[in-house]
Structure 1
Amino acid sequence: MELGNIIAVLGAVATFLFGMSTMTDGLEKLSSGRLEQILERLTSNVLKGVLLGAVVTGLIQSSAATTVMCVGFVNAGIMKLEQTVGIIMGANIGTTVTAQLLSLGDISSDNIVLMFLKPSFLGPILAVIGIVFYMFIKGGHKQTIGQIILGLGLLFIGMNTMSTAVAPLQELPEFQAVFTAFSNPFLGVAVGALITALLQSSSASMGILQAISTTGVVTFHIAMPLIMGQNIGTCITALISSIGASRNAKRTAMIHLFFNIIGSVFFLVVLYAGNALFHFPFWANTMSMNSIANLHLAFNVACTALLLPFNRQLVKLVKLVVPGDAEERELSVLDDRFLSSPSLALEKAHDAVVQMGEFSRDNFLLSVELLNKYDPKKLERLNETEVALDKLEELLDNYLVKLTDRALTQEESTKVSELLHTLSDFERIGDYAVNVSESATVLYNRGISFSPEAKGELEQLTAAVGETLDKTIACYQSRQRVLAVQVEPLEEVVDLMADTLKNRHVERLKTGACTVELGTQFLELLINLERISDHCSNVALRIVRQTASKDDKIRIDTHAYMRDLHHGGSNPEFDRLFGQYREKYFTPIAQSPVDP
């Protein structure tokens, strides 16, 4: 084979892969998240999941992308592990659409109408149309549509060029010998899986196989193991995306892998055992682009039909392989149908913000437990909850933005603003809880710890912050002023405790009684705990303001209200509560300085 042919093959593969990537990216952009929303909501049963998985993957042309979506949804707590099984099965069916499009290359050129559907004709036409839309027509989704058309055109051009470039290979004995070696099913599966894993696209590796089939060296018993291997290799993308994710997210990626492995092993045994007994007449038939596409489709449909009745057993299998308890975080439902009734939508949003507060409290408690006794499982659960917290914030942000497009009353607009500020406070509390867990991790990894006295100080401070957080969530959930007014005096005690411990820390550093390494972590903990209580104060203050009378000072000037509260001595209830919390939390640590 001449050097020019080799360069032509490489260039054709590059064009084909770029076309595939361009088209897929355009399809994903055009969906604008709508496909994700469909997957989130319409997976009530496994059959519906299969259909949805096939449709969504058929539209975006990437089973890996659909599976990665599922991994993300499970990781964020939006979708349960069991809901993903049908989607993943359907994704394998949907990804066969590209191969069917590429099989147009087998159309006879005798008919002038059908001739224009061949890649050699259709590719350049689509590329020209696509580049015109992409470069010269602006506005709306026209540029994205142009990207999709251009990508499809490049896909056909690359396929046609590959078919032409590999034609001389059919005369080479070495090339025929390589494909003869693939008659070993294990080698065929391994090569198919490896190539697909490298390309991270079964559609792309299938297209390359279809192009090679034009040489006439690809027979049924060679194509079948390669197709099976391609299905297995495409799982690599989801497996990579699950690294660092929750336990159930890892299980989702494993479902994709096991589904393809079990299906491949089953049909590999059936086909080869059947051929050994009955000598199938089609075993050595030469495969065309069209027959490879149909075989790909038939295999994926057969795998789905085989394993669909065992979807629950598949879930149990991955739970055995990835053992451990996975705490699933189900997020509040924010249905767009509620938007037609702003008052109802606001109530649902309020429930979701309360859930954010509960998530942030859960993570605070976990971070405190990690300080007392480090446990990697608790850290994993904390990280899972943080992902759910971030996802819920994103959902709420988008939901409330949609709500502002409606005709809202002044009171409803004010409520939207309050929700946006409060969800931000709860999200920040979750972030500071993560910071506390990171300090716990540093202490564990470096094999250092605070003295018993310093641990006692932190226990008092974290207990005060914990009560502040409990009262904040309770007052926000019930909108009770009597609970809300208890937060600020407690937050003031937390500030007092943090300032006292910071001053002690500085003195210890001056005298050399504290190491810089321990002191740094101690100071970081004080800062993060104090900031958690600050955000609690923000939330409670909103409730106090909302429930105040119209002539109350907090309604007129919030800053003046806070100044008088802390320095004016004009609020006996505040002074009483401050004294009560000071006695409860500050007095036990106020006696003598200690070393961490």
Structure 2
Amino acid sequence: MLKKILFPVIILLLAYSFWISPDFKETAAGIALFLFGMMCLEEGFKAFTGGTLESILRKSTSHQWKSLTFGMTATTLMQSSTLVSLVTISFVSAQMISLAAGIGIIMGANIGTTTGAWLIAGLGLKVDIASYAMPALIFGVIFTLQKSKALKGLGYVMLGVGFLFLGIHYMKTGFEAFQSTVDLTAYAVPGLAGVLLFTLIGVIITTIMQSSHATLLVIIAALATGQVSYENALALAIGANLGSAVTTAIGGMAANLGGKRLAIAHVLFNIITAFVAILFINQFVWVVDHGARLLGIADDSYLLKLALFHTLFNITGVLLLFPFIKQLETLLQKYVTFAPKSSEKPIYLHPQAVETPATAVSAVRKEVQHLFDNAYGLLTHGISLRRAVIDSEESLVDAIKYTRRIMPLDVDDIYENKIKSLHSEIVAFIGEAQTRELTHEATEELYILRQASRDIVEAVKAMKHMHKNLSKHGVSSNIAVREQYDAIRLQIATLLRELRIILHSTENVTSLSLDSLKLTMEKSSQQLMDSLDDMIRARRINPAIATSIMNDEAYVTDLAKNLIEAARTLLHDSEQNSVDNLALRPDEIQTLATNESDVKA
């Protein structure tokens, strides 16, 4: 409700400001162009995620110092700590890197983001930067019109650079014009009160613009034109650093528990860094003054001294907290657990349903179908496909082949809230029903349905076990490993699609349809193991990873077996169970699969 009110209020205030002050309009246009440039940069670098960036990220986080270096380098190159932070959250969420590695990257990103201040202070306001924007924009448009994803990405990067340069230009000219009409230095506040006030202003500006780079640009442009004092500019820089954690916090709220922990770590790091900077601001100013002399920076070169201050207090924060990353990780894992989401509620298990055997059986059957549907969704996301893809006629081979990243998925959380809780409700309801007078047929049917519910739970447990390896190796830079996990994902996707077709068929489906599906899964499993043996012999796959693939293939076998048995129960009620006599025994299915494999060989 508040957002709905705030948005039109902000629009009206901006419109009124533009009407009364053309100079403010130029400054605001500069900010808008700068922010749009940041968006273009992020869009461009996203084109290189899903493969290259992820591969580099995995290789660059084996040690804490590597994580720190990666965060610094990536943010320096991309000039977007937001993108680096949000990509890192997605990787921690998917368990592809540890929480400690993620914290290291976030710390490195905070140092890397200071390079933007140096570029703007040292270059951006001293040359006609707009002249460099034009070629970047022209080439950027040409590249974005190409079909190649890489060329489009490069085009967005060029557009981003062009709009950043234009934004800096208009910010500079806007503040210069603004200076002749309004002197904001008259509102400067000295002492600790001024530090706290302007730190808060920096936080607010950064939160609104969602970019500490844009805030630093505003600070530097205002300082260059004398609109803020040097002391107040330092406080604004602290606020900008503190406000940058808000973007990560917002991104973290949409992530799972691992992502939330990393977002909290980022907020804690920035709060502690800001607290230290405010507490010892006089000492920092002294160090900056002496450091500036050593670097040959003039005493009145406040822009470069601001950039130096921004770098120094970020480095100080890293030096203070970097040795304690492991301890911070342990504390976050211990205390940041979050209140569990409300568990999935049964839809059909009403108290009145236990009144008669028929209604009890019908309610349980529908609830087991509800549980199956929940498991279907979890398993679909577990192999990083959208449910709509499984439900469509789209090629599963292509859908899996062109997967760029493994979806972040908190399997444990979903299992507890959507699977285990619902299974417990089903078991409890059946227990209640059994205290009533039931017919022999109803008792048998409830027993079978309870077993079907358990089968569904076991299928999801199998996904829990294999998902960590799938997250780790599903987008591996080793093509052979990725092919094996793509084959595993294809097995599960095929199983889910076929089960959906069978369960929603309007024709009379017998157990032989499920036996045929089970036979298909057995054959796929044997083919995968044969392929794996060939790759081990050719030394295309490390034996340790091969062992993981074998274990995961066993989980797929268990998953398929349990899901097919649950589907068998849902297909046939007590009046139709006679068709189960047509079902093949497990040993017959195994024999058929082996014989077909031998014939092909």
Indicate the TM-score class for this superposition, using the shorter chain for normalisation.
0.5 to 0.7
- The worse-fitting range, judged by mean Cα deviation, of 61-70 and 148-157 is 61-70
Deviation at 1:83, TM superposition (A): 2.1
1:204-254 deviation per Cα after TM superposition (whole angstroms, max 9, x unaligned): 111121221221244442122211111111111221122254333211101
Whether contact under 8 Å (1:216, 1:287) holds in the other structure is no
Whether contact under 8 Å (1:251, 1:322) holds in the other structure is yes
Whether contact under 8 Å (1:16, 1:154) holds in the other structure is yes
Paired position in structure 2 for 1:310: 324
Residue 53 of structure 2 is aligned to residue 44 of structure 1? no
Aligned-partner Cα distance in 2 for 1:425–1:91: 43
Letter of the 1:369 partner, please give it.
S
Deviation at 1:395, TM superposition (A): 7.0
Letter of the 2:492 partner, please give it.
T
Paired position in structure 2 for 1:250: 260
Paired position in structure 2 for 1:194: 204
Aligned-partner Cα distance in 1 for 2:125–2:559: 76
Quickly say closer, same or farther: Cα 1:290–1:89, change in 2 above 3 A: same
Deviation at 1:314, TM superposition (A): 2.8
Paired position in structure 1 for 2:35: 17
Q: 1:291 aligns with which of 264, 289, 305?
A: 305
Report matched runs for 1:400-415 at 5 Å. 402-403=479-480
Q: 1:77 aligns with which of 84, 92, 95?
A: 95
Determine helix, strand or coil for the equivalent of 1:79.
Answer: coil
Q: 1:169 aligns with which of 168, 175, 178?
A: 178
Whether contact under 8 Å (1:239, 1:254) holds in the other structure is yes
Whether contact under 8 Å (1:192, 1:233) holds in the other structure is yes
Aligned-partner Cα distance in 1 for 2:587–2:169: 68
Whether contact under 8 Å (2:99, 2:329) holds in the other structure is yes
Residue 438 of structure 2 is aligned to residue 420 of structure 1? no
Residue 242 of structure 2 is aligned to residue 228 of structure 1? no
Quickly say closer, same or farther: Cα 1:546–1:215, change in 2 above 3 A: farther
Whether contact under 8 Å (1:397, 1:420) holds in the other structure is no
Runs (5+) with no aligned partner, structure 1: 109-114, 327-331, 333-351, 375-381, 407-411, 431-467, 502-536, 557-596
1:44-97 deviation per Cα after TM superposition (whole angstroms, max 9, x unaligned): 221111001112222332222222222222222222222212111001112223
Deviation at 1:397, TM superposition (A): 6.3
Quickly say closer, same or farther: Cα 1:224–1:124, change in 2 above 3 A: same
Aligned-partner Cα distance in 1 for 2:557–2:227: 80
Whether contact under 8 Å (1:214, 1:289) holds in the other structure is yes
TM value normalised by structure 1: 0.58
Q: 2:594 aligns with which of 517, 528, 548?
A: 548
Whether contact under 8 Å (2:71, 2:109) holds in the other structure is yes
Determine helix, strand or coil for the equivalent of 1:59.
Answer: helix
Letter of the 1:124 partner, please give it.
M
Letter of the 2:156 partner, please give it.
Q
Whether contact under 8 Å (2:51, 2:475) holds in the other structure is no
Paired position in structure 1 for 2:424: 369
Deviation at 1:496, TM superposition (A): 3.6
Quickly say closer, same or farther: Cα 1:544–1:161, change in 2 above 3 A: same
Equivalenced residues, count: 433
Aligned-partner Cα distance in 1 for 2:426–2:149: 52
1:369-406 deviation per Cα after TM superposition (whole angstroms, max 9, x unaligned): 365689xxxxxxx9999899888767776569955999
Aligned-partner Cα distance in 2 for 1:225–1:188: 5
Whether contact under 8 Å (2:204, 2:243) holds in the other structure is yes
Quickly say closer, same or farther: Cα 1:10–1:403, change in 2 above 3 A: same
Identical-residue share of aligned pairs (%): 23
Deviation at 1:101, TM superposition (A): 2.7
Letter of the 1:157 partner, please give it.
L
Letter of the 2:95 partner, please give it.
G
Quickly say closer, same or farther: Cα 1:212–1:92, change in 2 above 3 A: same
Deviation at 1:15, TM superposition (A): 1.5
Letter of the 1:28 partner, please give it.
K
Whether contact under 8 Å (2:71, 2:106) holds in the other structure is yes
Aligned-partner Cα distance in 2 for 1:139–1:489: 46
Paired position in structure 2 for 1:90: 108
Whether contact under 8 Å (2:76, 2:115) holds in the other structure is yes
Letter of the 1:313 partner, please give it.
Q
Whether contact under 8 Å (1:13, 1:158) holds in the other structure is yes
Quickly say closer, same or farther: Cα 1:140–1:248, change in 2 above 3 A: closer
Aligned-partner Cα distance in 2 for 1:85–1:48: 12
Runs (5+) with no aligned partner, structure 2: 1-16, 293-297, 341-381, 383-405, 430-458, 501-517, 526-549, 578-582
Letter of the 1:420 partner, please give it.
L
Aligned-partner Cα distance in 1 for 2:187–2:178: 11
Determine helix, strand or coil for the equivalent of 2:253.
Answer: coil
Paired position in structure 1 for 2:5: none
TM value normalised by structure 2: 0.58
Quickly say closer, same or farther: Cα 1:322–1:485, change in 2 above 3 A: closer
